[in-house]
Amino acid sequence: MTLNELVIPARVLANAKAESRKGALEVLSQLLSKDQPELTQADVMRGLVARERLGSTAIGGGMAVPHGRVAGIDQAVGALIRLNEPVDYSADDNVPVDLMFAMLVPEECSPEHAGLLSQATVRLSDPEVRRCMREAKTSKALYECFADHGENVHHLRAGLRA
Protein backbone atom coordinates (compact mmCIF):
# COMPACT_ATOMS: atom_id res chain seq x y z
CA MET A 1 0.00 0.00 0.00
CA THR A 2 1.22 3.51 -0.82
CA LEU A 3 0.39 6.81 0.86
CA ASN A 4 -1.68 7.77 -2.17
CA GLU A 5 -3.77 4.61 -1.69
CA LEU A 6 -4.02 5.23 2.05
CA VAL A 7 -5.36 8.79 1.73
CA ILE A 8 -8.16 9.16 -0.79
CA PRO A 9 -9.78 12.49 -1.79
CA ALA A 10 -12.93 11.72 0.24
CA ARG A 11 -10.81 11.72 3.42
CA VAL A 12 -9.15 15.09 2.82
CA LEU A 13 -10.51 18.37 4.15
CA ALA A 14 -9.13 21.87 3.65
CA ASN A 15 -10.36 24.72 5.82
CA ALA A 16 -11.39 22.41 8.67
CA LYS A 17 -12.78 24.10 11.75
CA ALA A 18 -11.58 23.09 15.21
CA GLU A 19 -10.85 25.11 18.32
CA SER A 20 -8.71 22.53 20.11
CA ARG A 21 -6.67 19.36 19.67
CA LYS A 22 -9.75 17.35 20.66
CA GLY A 23 -11.84 19.17 18.07
CA ALA A 24 -9.25 18.47 15.37
CA LEU A 25 -9.21 14.78 16.33
CA GLU A 26 -13.02 14.75 16.08
CA VAL A 27 -12.83 16.11 12.53
CA LEU A 28 -10.30 13.43 11.63
CA SER A 29 -12.41 10.74 13.33
CA GLN A 30 -15.38 11.72 11.21
CA LEU A 31 -13.34 11.56 8.00
CA LEU A 32 -11.74 8.23 8.89
CA SER A 33 -15.02 6.55 9.83
CA LYS A 34 -17.30 7.85 7.08
CA ASP A 35 -16.40 5.19 4.50
CA GLN A 36 -15.60 2.42 6.99
CA PRO A 37 -18.94 0.76 7.83
CA GLU A 38 -17.30 -1.40 10.49
CA LEU A 39 -16.12 1.66 12.46
CA THR A 40 -17.97 4.35 14.33
CA GLN A 41 -16.63 7.83 14.83
CA ALA A 42 -16.39 7.01 18.56
CA ASP A 43 -14.24 3.91 17.82
CA VAL A 44 -11.86 6.01 15.77
CA MET A 45 -11.72 8.79 18.35
CA ARG A 46 -10.88 6.27 21.09
CA GLY A 47 -8.03 4.87 18.98
CA LEU A 48 -6.56 8.31 18.27
CA VAL A 49 -6.96 9.58 21.84
CA ALA A 50 -5.37 6.41 23.28
CA ARG A 51 -2.20 7.16 21.30
CA GLU A 52 -2.23 10.87 22.20
CA ARG A 53 -2.29 9.93 25.89
CA LEU A 54 1.17 8.43 25.40
CA GLY A 55 2.44 11.80 24.17
CA SER A 56 1.68 14.42 21.58
CA THR A 57 1.96 13.31 17.97
CA ALA A 58 2.98 16.81 16.88
CA ILE A 59 6.14 16.59 14.78
CA GLY A 60 6.98 20.29 14.72
CA GLY A 61 6.55 23.00 12.14
CA GLY A 62 2.79 23.13 12.68
CA MET A 63 2.18 19.47 11.82
CA ALA A 64 0.85 16.43 13.67
CA VAL A 65 0.47 12.78 12.73
CA PRO A 66 -2.16 11.30 15.06
CA HIS A 67 -2.51 7.56 14.63
CA GLY A 68 -3.98 4.58 16.39
CA ARG A 69 -4.89 0.93 16.32
CA VAL A 70 -8.51 -0.14 16.03
CA ALA A 71 -10.36 -3.42 15.85
CA GLY A 72 -12.54 -4.13 12.85
CA ILE A 73 -10.32 -3.07 9.96
CA ASP A 74 -7.98 -5.24 7.93
CA GLN A 75 -5.94 -2.50 6.29
CA ALA A 76 -4.72 0.96 7.18
CA VAL A 77 -6.75 4.07 6.34
CA GLY A 78 -5.61 7.67 6.36
CA ALA A 79 -6.99 11.20 6.36
CA LEU A 80 -5.55 14.65 5.92
CA ILE A 81 -6.78 18.05 7.09
CA ARG A 82 -5.66 21.65 7.08
CA LEU A 83 -7.19 23.67 9.86
CA ASN A 84 -8.49 27.20 9.26
CA GLU A 85 -6.80 28.27 12.47
CA PRO A 86 -3.90 26.41 14.11
CA VAL A 87 -4.55 24.74 17.48
CA ASP A 88 -2.28 24.14 20.45
CA TYR A 89 -0.98 20.58 20.24
CA SER A 90 1.72 20.55 22.93
CA ALA A 91 4.40 20.44 20.26
CA ASP A 92 8.04 20.42 21.36
CA ASP A 93 8.66 23.54 19.25
CA ASN A 94 5.52 25.25 20.67
CA VAL A 95 4.21 25.91 17.15
CA PRO A 96 0.42 25.44 16.89
CA VAL A 97 -0.70 22.74 14.45
CA ASP A 98 -2.60 23.41 11.22
CA LEU A 99 -1.64 20.37 9.09
CA MET A 100 -2.66 16.92 10.27
CA PHE A 101 -2.23 13.50 8.73
CA ALA A 102 -4.06 10.73 10.60
CA MET A 103 -3.77 6.99 10.18
CA LEU A 104 -5.62 4.03 11.61
CA VAL A 105 -4.13 0.57 11.49
CA PRO A 106 -5.50 -2.85 12.42
CA GLU A 107 -4.89 -3.99 15.98
CA GLU A 108 -2.22 -6.32 14.64
CA CYS A 109 0.06 -3.64 13.21
CA SER A 110 2.64 -4.74 10.64
CA PRO A 111 6.02 -3.25 9.71
CA GLU A 112 4.36 -1.94 6.53
CA HIS A 113 2.07 0.22 8.67
CA ALA A 114 5.00 1.73 10.57
CA GLY A 115 6.66 2.41 7.23
CA LEU A 116 3.59 4.27 5.96
CA LEU A 117 3.58 6.51 9.02
CA SER A 118 7.26 7.22 8.51
CA GLN A 119 6.68 8.03 4.83
CA ALA A 120 3.87 10.42 5.74
CA THR A 121 6.11 12.20 8.23
CA VAL A 122 8.86 12.57 5.62
CA ARG A 123 6.36 13.85 3.04
CA LEU A 124 4.89 16.41 5.44
CA SER A 125 8.37 17.53 6.48
CA ASP A 126 9.20 18.57 2.92
CA PRO A 127 9.02 22.39 2.77
CA GLU A 128 7.55 22.39 -0.76
CA VAL A 129 4.76 19.98 0.20
CA ARG A 130 3.93 22.02 3.33
CA ARG A 131 3.93 25.30 1.39
CA CYS A 132 1.60 23.87 -1.25
CA MET A 133 -0.74 22.39 1.39
CA ARG A 134 -0.94 25.66 3.29
CA GLU A 135 -1.76 27.58 0.10
CA ALA A 136 -4.40 25.09 -1.11
CA LYS A 137 -7.84 26.71 -1.22
CA THR A 138 -9.88 23.52 -1.66
CA SER A 139 -9.85 19.96 -0.39
CA LYS A 140 -9.07 18.76 -3.92
CA ALA A 141 -6.06 21.07 -4.11
CA LEU A 142 -4.91 19.94 -0.66
CA TYR A 143 -5.11 16.30 -1.76
CA GLU A 144 -3.19 17.07 -4.95
CA CYS A 145 -0.43 18.81 -2.98
CA PHE A 146 -0.04 15.78 -0.75
CA ALA A 147 -0.33 13.18 -3.52
CA ASP A 148 1.37 14.86 -6.45
CA HIS A 149 4.13 16.77 -4.72
CA GLY A 150 4.72 13.85 -2.43
CA GLU A 151 5.21 11.50 -5.37
CA ASN A 152 7.46 14.01 -7.12
CA VAL A 153 9.58 14.41 -3.99
CA HIS A 154 9.71 10.62 -3.55
CA HIS A 155 10.86 10.06 -7.14
CA LEU A 156 13.38 12.89 -6.91
CA ARG A 157 14.90 11.46 -3.72
CA ALA A 158 14.92 7.95 -5.18
CA GLY A 159 16.78 9.28 -8.21
CA LEU A 160 19.33 11.02 -6.02
CA ARG A 161 20.07 7.76 -4.21
CA ALA A 162 20.56 5.77 -7.42
What residue type is 21 in one-letter code? R
Active-site position among 67, 113, 149, 155: 67
- Give residues with Cβ within 8 angstroms of 5, minimum separation 6: none
* 3-class SS of residue 96: coil
Exposure string over 106-140, b if 16+ CB within 10 A, otherwise e: beeeeeebeebbeebeebbebeebbebbeebeebe
- Euclidean distance between the first and final Cα of the chain, in Å? 23
- 67 carries an active-site annotation: yes
Using alpha carbons, list the distances in angstroms from residue 36 to 6, 31, 50: 13, 9, 20
Any residues with CB less than 8 A from the CB of 85 and at least 6 apart, and which? 17, 19, 98
> Catalytic site residues?
67
